[in-house]
Structure formats: structure tokens, C-alpha cells
Structure 1
Amino acid sequence: MNIASSPLEAAQARTFDDGDHFDVLIVGAGISGIDAAYHLQQDHPDRSFAMIERQAEFGGTWRTHRYPGIRSDSDLHTFGFSWKPWKKKAIAEAQLILDYLDQAMEEQDLHRRVRYGHEVVSADWSSDDARWTLHLRRLADGADLRVTCNFLWMCQGYYEHREGYTPRWPGMDDFKGEILHPQTWPEDQDLEGKKVVVIGSGATAATLIPAIAGKCAKAVMLQRSPTWFAPRPTHDEFQATLASLGLPDDQYHDIMRRKVLKMQEDIIRRSFEEPEALGEELLGAARAYLGPDYPLERDFRPSYRPWRQRLALIPDGDMFQAIRRGEAEVVTAKIERFEADGIRLDDGRLLEADVIVTATGFNLLPLGGVRFAVDGEGVSLPEQWLNRGIMITGLPNLAWTFGYLRTSWTMRADLVAAFVSRLLRHMDEKGVRSVTPTLREEDRQMEPRPWIDPENFNAGYIMRGHALMPRQGDRGPWVNSQDYYEERESLPAADLEDGTLVYR
């Protein structure tokens, strides 16, 4: 008899049987899916549920990305779960995060809930049966399966995990070296003695550069335009003092969360109210690492206000330190074309390279690319409306966990989980089988707006993906505010009988 040596190995051996039925199916076993499963198990212990995960292991984005130095760019006291205190350093590497997720799942007995290696191809809703039928593909053998559920909870993230976004530049086929994307990093990749150019200036590039600097012959970050960076010390005196007091883990975790959230709230507020002053402070922090003679205006002053795109965190200014030591370089220029030996810039320079890394972002993939149909009719997501940024018109008994872009992702995952749990309880109390977000009469003339307001947040992957996503409106509950400090009050108090949720 084959005995699994761990809860994960036991879970990897499980599969669905054709025709299985569950009260709730959760798609995704990353941060969002694990959080949803915890809340569902705590608040609705009598409901049957399972988690569907395409990859062979839990962790989502922390499994997908394996490039050198991969780490969080959010504070783990807020990125971690509210129900499991984070006890280690605030900015953590991927393996520490995966270990934490493994412990969380084991403590809550969630490993047994996951079915790995299953891809959701399509989902069909039957109003007569009040249930979803999911068409799954089991990746191990290609088998097609049908499973059903009363409620579908999409927690699969927001981008295509199988490949990242790489623009096409002239001459790419002429380059004789390697072109890599961080999202599909080869595990045996050797950069020793090689000239490496990383195209991009976001959090991924800011992580890669210090991780490879000093280990390769040359590390260059090539950016078309600058990004705002926020160096932050990894040693937190407040945290050290708090840790020495011997508080219970939950109290320590709660205080650290509150401290980090207050700091984030102040920075976000200032990014709207006094962006120039905040920008000067960020440049001043960079100057402290790079020295007075570095051309900061050229390489580190973006054209947009802080936090209109993601503010990239640099622990202990490690990227700046690598630049000052001469192990790394920033080049701000546009790409003319690729050539055999590197990249020709628009100013005529040739940037020599053996390896080019395209840290150029994600391909947005709403709801995992699943094809949805209701009573045989296909549902076009871009024609639908977001209700509280959680539910979608035209899709009954479905919730979508999409976290925050500024505050840690998990803070919204928690709020969404609490909302869904309350909604399920409300449906039980009403004795209804389905709920569908629906425009009220007074909402039908709303002007459709992009799911994320570009004036609020305009990162490249957001702008590229607007046409794929459901819309938001100009009034509640059709506004997708992406504001934790507003939603932490509004979502728990949301009126489930406001006329926008139609029960049957």
C-alpha cells in the first residue's frame, strides 16, 4: 500500500469523480482560495466544499514565480492571514511564504480539500437546477470530468500563470543569447559570468537586479521610464520592541497590522493630497543610498504621481546599494531593436547582453479564462457590471475574490470572504437557492466606467486588460473603489436587500 508522507502528497493523489457535487467549489489554492476555505469552514461547517487548483501544489503566484530573489513587496503582517499570525520578518522570500501557507493549511486541515492538477474549462449555470456544472480537465491524463456546485467562488487570481507578457520588439529573432520571462524562469538557469539586461522597472526587476548583481558579469535594468521606489529598512525597532514584550501571538500580530495599515493609509492619502512632497521624500531616500552625484531625475523621477502605479518596495535599499557598488546599472532609454549581441537603444548605443529578461508584466486573465454560460447562453464579461467588486451581473451564485492593488491583497480577500459568508447565511435564512446581481431601474442609465479608474491606478497590465473585464458604474454598489479604508466599513455593513441582489 502506498502511504503518502505528507498532507500535500495525500492531496496530490486525490481527484474528482465524474458527477461529484459540492455546496461550494473554490477555484484556486493560493492566498485567496486558502483564505476563502478557512472562512467557509469556520462559518459554514455543514457545507460541503472543495478547492480546484490547476498547479501541482498550493501557493498560486508563489509557485508560479521562481526567479532569483522572489519575495513579497507587501508587509507580511498585512499580507498574511488575519487568523494566522506572521512571526517572521516583514518582507519575506517566497519559500518563507510557502512554508507559512503550508502551516496554515495543515493547522486548519485544508490540504484534504484541494484537488490538484485540474483545470476549469467552462462553467454552465442551470436556473432550473440552481447549480453550476463545471467542465474540468484532469491534467495528468487529459480526462474530462463534470462536477456540480450550488455556489462558485473564483479565487484564481487575475493573470495568466502559464506565460507572462512580453512585447514584440524588432529583431528579437536575431538575438543569439537567451530571452527569459520571470514567470517561466528555468530552475537550472546559470547567469554566472554573463551580461544580463532586465527590461522593466517594477517590483520584479527591483527584486531580480539585487539578487543577481555581483553573481553575473553585469546586471542592467533597462527602463523606458522610471518607477517610484520606496527603500525600507528590514529592521523595525517598533517590531523588535513589541516582540520583546512577550505578547500572545494574536495580540502582537494585530498591533503590527494596525501599525502597518496606518503607515500605508498615510502614504496613500499623501499620494493624492500632496504628491509632490511625497515624491521628493522618495527621491531623498534614494539619494541617501546612491549619493549626491547620481542623476536621480533621469532614472528615478516618474512622470506620474506616487501610487498611480505600484510603489515598489526595496528592503534596505538593496537595489540602490548594488548600483552604488557598481554591480548594477540603470539605463533609461527606449528600445530601437534587438541585435545579435544585445539591444540597440534609440540613442544609438548598443547594450550588450548574453541574457535578456523581459520583466514586462502579466497577461490579465479575468476569472481564469473560464467560459461561462447561463441556461445555454454564453456570458460576455465586458458587458457585465461589478457589484461591490465581488459579484457580477449575469452570473448567479458566483463570487470573485480580487484583492487590493495598494493595500495588501489579503486585506480584501478577508473582507470578501466575510461578505460571501454573510450572503450565504442570508440566503439560508430567506430559504432561497440563487442570488444574481441585477441593475435596478435607476441604475440602467449609468455611464459605464473601466473596472479600475485609470486616474486611480494605471499600471500597464491594468490598462492592457480593461477591455476584458466587467465594468463599474458611478454609484454604489456598482463602484469598485479599491480603497481598503472605505471598504473595511462599507462591506461589513453592505445592505443585502438593497434591490441589486435578486434572490430566487
Structure 2
Amino acid sequence: MPDADVIIVGAGLSGICAASLLSAKRPADRVIVLEARDAIGGTWDLFRYPGIRSDSDMHTLGYSFRPWRGQKAITDGGSILSYIRDTAREQDVERLIRFGHRLLAANWDGVAQHWALRVQTPEGQITLTTRFLLGCTGYYDYEAGYQPDFAGQEDFAGPLVHPQHWPEGLDWHGKRIAVIGSGATAITLVPELARKAAHVSMIQRIPSYVAGMPARDRLGDRVKRILPERAAYAAIRWKNILLGMGTYQATQLWPGFIGRLLARKAAERSGTDPADFHAPYGPWEQRLCLAPDGDLFDALRTGRASITTGQIAGFAPDGVRMESGDLIRADVIVVATGLRMRLGGGAALSLDGAVLRFADHVSYKGAMLSGVPNFAQMFGYTNASWTLKCELIARWVIRLLNRMEAVGATVATPVSPQDLKLRSAVPLSSGYVQRAHGSLPMQGDRGPWRVHQNYLRDVYAFRYAPVDDGAMVLSTMDQSFSTRA
């Protein structure tokens, strides 16, 4: 007998979601959650930089089965971390977590029909086996963020900081700060640092689109006063889902118009040039940045912060030298230059001893990989809240396990046709995605091999479409079969 029916790797936002749903829907299953670190929370426990927050509203970033009760819809990282930990406690899944357990390698044993996991623990390495493996490790490298080498950076006299490893006790009171980058992290950092700094200079190679949004959902507040809590939460959640989908579709239909509109609105609010916010790509070709209550725009308008667009020539002892010849003086430099993508938490995966490379496989519904048995990987939306897709995947894994049990199958393997036209499963032009080219799975040109960035389509595909759809092959030790549910 394997050690577990399901092993979940990661105790962050998606791992706690999966553990909670599995415990509730399949209480007889033996579930283990492996967490490499010593705390629940994943991203929201790792990142400690000033002002860390979500750029998704909590009514969709939160779980459908546990209403968000906070006052702010766009909230800080500490509140999100508390929400995840409170959920784990309320759903009684803390008992399933093995802290300090890092997955090093996992091999599918086709004869035994289970996954064999090599796990590093505080006491040494152990082996665990499981019928089904569910990856909830996110998509980036927890060990190090992406930091390019700048000429002369060793000459800079002050602290050089990457947000992923923010030093405890760093004092920026009254200091001049240069923030290199224009992505979501930089947009979060600049207004927060500007509250205490002498001045914050945001240096961007190219602009990003930034949209202002109220931190509190006023319409949602009114709905809460009218409806019972769960009904109000569901109504607000669906309102935000549909609003987000409508906004995204508008950007795809009229990218030029929406891009100019976003840039003009940002410039009007911040008192800057629209060129500072007009990206050289369409909205949502990279993730749209969010400024809650227009905090970035206010920092720019008051002069506490400024934007410089251009190429960096290198560092000087007292700041950043631009190719234009300008010197941006700084006492502290924050390199908000992005993440390193790393699927599977960096574990070495294999099938009967043969190395498993994500790029050699086609994504099935954005949840499993072609030719890979009894394995699912959480990967959220790029144009909406991460959790929306992850919860759909978790619920679908439960449907899959139920179907396997009903027909007596021990193995579930998506099998892709040979005539698929392939492209990357992650449709973003962001630097961290492009740097990971060649290590990401592919997607096809039709379902169920196409990854849709559309919640309504996925609701049908994950919750109502037949589990064994002709692409999903269910098998036992001695035979393969596929019957329609």
C-alpha cells in the first residue's frame, strides 16, 4: 500500500485550498501535505518587502468555501497570510502538513502504479509513495529572484536589495531610493517607500500599464448590508469575476484604444506624461498592474516619487547612471527586476526513471500533462485571480479520483493526439516568462489541450464536462479503457 492516496506539495494559497477540499469531499483518503519551509503561506509568508499586497480582489483571490470578511477588497500581504492560516485551522488541515519536508525527486513507477517521492526532512532523506501527486508549488523559484548584472554595481556605496529577499531592519527613512523595474512589485513598492523616503525614483526600461482601483469595494459593501454573508460573498465574487472578464475582453477587442485610455488616465491622476504609462505592447500581453486608491499616482503627483524611462548604463557610487548620461542619485537601490520561473518546486520528476521535462508535454486543461499519469499541477490565471483556476483544478481532481474509484481504475493519463498545433501554455510576453522559454509546457489549438484564460469556459470544462472525455485514459494494472461519464 502506498503511504498516501494523495500527496500535495506546498502549503500556500493553492495547497491549503486543495487540502481543504480533499478533506471535505473525500474524508477517507490519506492526504499528506509536504511543505519545504516551516510555515503555512507560501508566497505570502516568503515575501516581506514593504507594502506587499495582492493585485487581485480578495473576493476572487479567496476561496469560494470561506468568505473573505476583511474590509478591503485589495488588501495587504499580512491579511492574506492570516486568511490562509485561519482557513487551514478552520478546515482542520494543519494536521496533514509536514513542515521542513522538501520534495527532491518524484518518479512514477509504472509497475507499482504509484509515485515514489524522495523527500529531504530535518532528520535526513526519506521515501514516500502516493497514488496521486498534486503540485501546489507556484511557478517561481523561492530561492532567488531574477537580478541582472549591472556594470559597476560593486561600486555602489549603499544597500542593493532584491524584493524577494528584503533585509529585516533596512532603514530607508529620509533616504533617496532608486527602484529599478516597472512591474507589479515596483508599482507596489514605490508608493510605500515614498511615505518615509526623501524621494523615490522609479527607473523603467519600458513603461507598464497601471490601472487605479478602489481598495474597498463600495458596491460590495452595500451588498453585504442587504444579503446574508454567504449569499453576499457569492454575489460579490461573481460580480468581480464577470467584471474582470468583461474588462479583459475589451482589452483584446480594442487594445490600442484601451492602452491609450489607461495611459491617459494614469497621467491625469499622477500629473505626468502619458508616455510614462504607455507600454509598447497591448494590455494583458503582460499582467496589468494595479494601484489601489491610486497610491502610485498620488506619490508621483506630490513629488515624493518620479519616473525615469530609459536604459541603464551602470551603477555609480552614489546612484544609477543612465545611457542618456543622467545620474539618478540614490542611497538605496531596489532591483525589482522580476522572478525566476521554476515549476514543480525544482524537484526532479521522472517516469519509470526517464527524466520528465515540462516542455516535452502538452497541458491538459491547464491541470495535467500529456502522457503523465496521476499528476496534476496548480497553475492559476494570468488575467484574473490565481485562486479561481486553482480551486477549479482542485475540485476537478476530486471528480477524477471519484471517477477512477467508480470504474475501478488505478491510473489516469491524458493522451494527446499527434496533430495538435503547439504553442506555449503561458501566453505572456513578460520577461520572467520569456526567460523560462523551453521549460514550460505547451498547449494545443483545441480543447482539452488549449489553456483558456476564461473562467466561465473552465467552469464547464472542470465541473460539468465528462471526466473521461476521450483524451483521458483510465486504466488498471492489466488493461486500459475510457468510458464516458
Q: TM-score range by the shorter chain?
A: over 0.9
CA distance in 2, matches of 1:411, 1:128: 36
Instruction: Say if 2:28 is the partner of 1:28.
Output: no
Unpaired runs of 5+ residues, structure 1, are 1-18
Alpha carbons of 1:217 and 1:40: their partners in 2 closer, same or farther (altered >3 Å)? Answer: same
Secondary structure at 2:437's aligned position in 1? helix
Instruction: Say if 2:222 is the partner of 1:222.
Output: no
CA distance in 1, matches of 2:2, 2:462: 33
Per-residue deviation, residues 283-333 of structure 1 (Å, max 9, x unmatched): 343234223xx2122x11111111111111111111110111111111111
Instruction: Say if 2:410 is the partner of 1:433.
Output: yes
Secondary structure at 2:128's aligned position in 1? strand
Question: Partner amino acid for 1:424?
Answer: L
Q: Is the 8 A contact 1:341 1:352 kept in 2?
A: yes
Could you say which residue in structure 1 is the equivalent of 2:127? 146
The alignment's TM-score, normalised by the length of structure 1, stands at 0.91
Q: Is the 8 A contact 1:265 1:485 kept in 2?
A: no
Secondary structure at 2:8's aligned position in 1? strand
CA distance in 2, matches of 1:98, 1:335: 36
Could you say which residue in structure 1 is the equivalent of 2:447? 476
Per-residue deviation, residues 115-152 of structure 1 (Å, max 9, x unmatched): 111110000111111111110111x35x1111111100
CA distance in 1, matches of 2:195, 2:229: 39
CA distance in 2, matches of 1:61, 1:24: 23
Per-residue deviation, residues 432-482 of structure 1 (Å, max 9, x unmatched): 11112222xxx21323211223xxx32211111121012112222111223
Could you say which residue in structure 2 is the equivalent of 1:353? 330
Could you say which residue in structure 1 is the equivalent of 2:154? 173
Could you say which residue in structure 2 is the equivalent of 1:61? 43
Q: Is the 8 A contact 1:20 1:146 kept in 2?
A: no
Secondary structure at 1:467's aligned position in 2? coil
Could you say which residue in structure 2 is the equivalent of 1:86? 68
TM superposition outliers: structure 1 runs of 4+ over 3 Å: none
Percent identical residues: 39
Q: Is the 8 A contact 1:222 1:330 kept in 2?
A: yes
Tell which deviates more after alignment, 71-80 or 277-286.
Answer: 277-286
Instruction: Say if 2:31 is the partner of 1:38.
Output: no
Could you say which residue in structure 1 is the equivalent of 2:181? 200
Secondary structure at 2:423's aligned position in 1? coil
Per-residue deviation, residues 30-71 of structure 1 (Å, max 9, x unmatched): 111011111111211110101111111111110111000011
Instruction: Say if 2:273 is the partner of 1:295.
Output: yes
The alignment's TM-score, normalised by the length of structure 2, stands at 0.95
Deviation at 1:359, TM superposition (A): 0.7
Could you say which residue in structure 1 is the equivalent of 2:367? 390
Q: Which of 233, 238, 253 pairs up with 2:219?
A: 238
Q: Size of the alignment, in residue pairs?
A: 474
Q: Is the 8 A contact 1:451 1:466 kept in 2?
A: no
Could you say which residue in structure 1 is the equivalent of 2:118? 135
Deviation at 1:393, TM superposition (A): 2.3
Instruction: Say if 2:212 is the partner of 1:212.
Output: no
Alpha carbons of 1:20 and 1:502: their partners in 2 closer, same or farther (altered >3 Å)? Answer: closer
Alpha carbons of 1:459 and 1:485: their partners in 2 closer, same or farther (altered >3 Å)? Answer: farther
Secondary structure at 2:280's aligned position in 1? coil
Could you say which residue in structure 1 is the equivalent of 2:389? 412
Question: How much is the aligned-residue C-alpha RMSD, in angstroms?
Answer: 1.5
CA distance in 1, matches of 2:372, 2:461: 23
Secondary structure at 2:185's aligned position in 1? helix
Per-residue deviation, residues 159-214 of structure 1 (Å, max 9, x unmatched): 00111111122222222222111011112111123221111111111111111103
Tell which deviates more after alignment, 370-379 or 485-494.
Answer: 485-494
Could you say which residue in structure 1 is the equivalent of 2:438? 467
Q: Is the 8 A contact 2:267 2:273 kept in 1?
A: no
Secondary structure at 2:366's aligned position in 1? coil
Q: Is the 8 A contact 1:23 1:149 kept in 2?
A: yes
CA distance in 2, matches of 1:490, 1:128: 31
